[in-house]
Chain A
Amino acid sequence: AQKVTQAQTEISVVEKEDVTLDCVYETRDTTYYLFWYKQPPSGELVFLIRRNSFDEQNEISGRYSWNFQKSTSSFNFTITASQVVDSAVYFCALSEGNSGTYKYIFGTGTRLKVLA
């Protein structure tokens, strides 16, 4: 069955600390996509990154980095030198499917609070 688990409900860090948000997924498909979205207080979900199941290279974008490990079914997200503006709820999502029919589900989210 398709499932996304974000075990950390809420994390609080002090500005400039590094923080890692965990995401563990379950799927029976060999082809799937993983995503991270940010939901600031305004409510709009903002797409951050997409990874397909065949690309295990880690990715860095500015202060953001993502660690994809198929062996542990994890797709963790690290923010380096966190800032107050990073405060938001972060969602991990999984899309799997074949023959053009996709199932896309979100985890329950991790609320990140960055304190000044």
Chain B
Amino acid sequence: DAGVTQSPTHLIKTRGQQVTLRCSPKSGHDTVSWYQQALGQGPQFIFQYYEEEERQRGNFPDRFSGHQFPNYSSELNVNALLLGDSALYLCASSAPVMGETQYFGPGTRLLVL
């Protein structure tokens, strides 16, 4: 049973570029959440997708957008990258029950130069 998978594992971009990160949820999960974790900080909630729609969003600008596909996989897109977007981006999946445990993927390390 595959857990949550993410790709790529590492990425280097320059300011102003755009990036797309991908996530496949754990088998049996249909809810995907994305988080940004800066060095030395806890993960910050970006948004959550359920039934191919954004259900909840954290305090991130519109440069951060996402998508969920019919097979429940998800993408995170970040436009007009800033140096401050350098972080570990974590995807977590869960069953569609309020308060259900979330399981994290290994993350994508993004470095913006």
Partners in one complex: no
